[in-house]
Amino acid sequence: MSNDDGSKRRRRVATEAIHGGETRPRAGNAITTPIFQSATFVFRNTAELAAHHSHETRREEYGRYGNPTTQIAEAKCAALEGAEAGLAFSSGMAAITTALFAVLQQGHHVILTDDCYRRTRQFCTGLLGKFGVETSIVRTDSVEALEAAVRPNTRVLISESPTNPYNRVVDLDHIAEVGRRHRLLTIIDSTFATPINQRPLDHGIDLVLHSATKYLSGHNDVLGGVILGKEPIIDAVRDCQGVLGGVIDPHAAYMLIRGLKTLPVRIEYQNASAMKVSEMLSTHPRVDAVHYAGLETHPGHEIARKQMKGFGGVVSFEVKGDLDDTSRVVDATEIFQIAPSMGGVESLIEQPALMSFFELSTEERLEVGIKNNLIRLSIGLEDPDDLIADLRQALG
């Protein structure tokens, strides 16, 4: 598609969500990308095999190294994120762990901001430590701590924005600048934001991670992950994926493609609904604090306004009372369902102290910032007025 002056016009996000990454015509003249449910792919003769191995032609060989359905899902995610290339995995954790194994080696050092996903933190501090990779955890909101943590052997800087569960916002321009100055690979987990609300690569970030299980698929029925960035880095991660084997299966890739086609309209609705819910909660007498970047009272609001088009569908808040008082509020909701995860069409509710951090004592939870009276909501596609009424009666 061209502009009047003949230059190529960049398609808008809703168009890319439907058509990005997909070629025409498709197999069998189908309007949707078919599921290539095949573990292996045949060669017509040895000459074709030789051409494939010499990279004269690009085609499929074995399911762990690529699949036509998977490649469309990867290309569509890359189109939405504005990336040169993308790589899909069996889960978000498979994506981040494979990427780190691809770029790190014994003696290297990683910097991780403190509000990153707990399993990413556990992988870096636990498993990578066994292989001689050190990890420093710094405060998400401290520029000074970030600069002070950089060592000569530091190779990777990992952060998340917005963060889980407090919706803290990282200044992406600053993260990218620190990465360039110290020659670090910068990785942002942008699962909460999605490419609709935020595109970290536009700010100079090297790699973007998404748990495709969440908003990208959007229906609580797929496990998957994607990593996106420049082609040389993605190629290095792809080689590592071929060894570790954490590939997404073709049916899950098909479901991801289907989910991506409605991503813009879902996110726009969830942004608006979450804003209404957060505004109600911020004025409720039984609520002590609301953590949502769309509120002007949120400490990261100005940065979020600068780098985000919307503030997402996750709202966290603190109720007046202790662990049991908070559980009673959670149990009293009727539309919200108690479950981990987020980003689907159904609204979910959880008490992080009892969901993800149940094995820790109150003191240990407080050390990592999780309060007993904290509730996290994933706003779905129900009518926001019904969700607000449900929360009001539960809090009442």
Active site residue 385: no
For the stretch 339-366, pLDDT in tens is 999 999 999 999 998 887 666 667 777 6
Least confidently predicted of 28-42, 98-112, 308-322 = 28-42
What is the reported pLDDT for 140? 80
Confidence of residue 3 (pLDDT cuts 50, 70, 90): low
Q: Which residues pair with 211 in a beta bridge?
A: 225
| Catalytic-labelled residue, pool 141, 189, 206, 249 | 189
Is 337:347 a contact under the CB 8 Å cutoff? yes
Where residue 153 falls among pLDDT bands split at 50, 70, 90?
very high
What mean pLDDT is predicted for residues 46-63?
92
In this prediction, residues 333-343 reach a mean pLDDT of 97
Looking at residue 226, its pLDDT comes to 98
Q: How far apart are the first and last CA of the chain?
A: 55
pLDDT tops 60 at residue 6: no
Q: Is 5 a catalytic residue?
A: no
Q: Give the burial class of 97: count Cβ atoms within 10 A of its Cβ; 0-12 exposed, 13-18 middle, 19 or more buried.
A: buried
Placement of tokens 């409720």 in the chain? 284
Domains, in order of start, for the chain? 13-261 (3.40.640.10), 263-395 (3.90.1150.10)
Would you call 189 a catalytic residue per the annotation?
yes
Q: Which residue has the tokens 């890319």?
A: 16
What pLDDT is recorded for position 2? 55
Q: Determine what percent of the chain is predicted with pLDDT higher than 90.
A: 86
292: annotated active-site residue: no
Name the pTM for this structure: 0.94
Point out the catalytic residue in the list 76, 115, 117, 141. 117
Catalytically annotated residue among 214, 238, 266, 371: 214
Mean pLDDT confidence for 257-283: 98
Catalytic residue among 64, 261, 286, 305: 64
The pLDDT value given to residue 28: 84
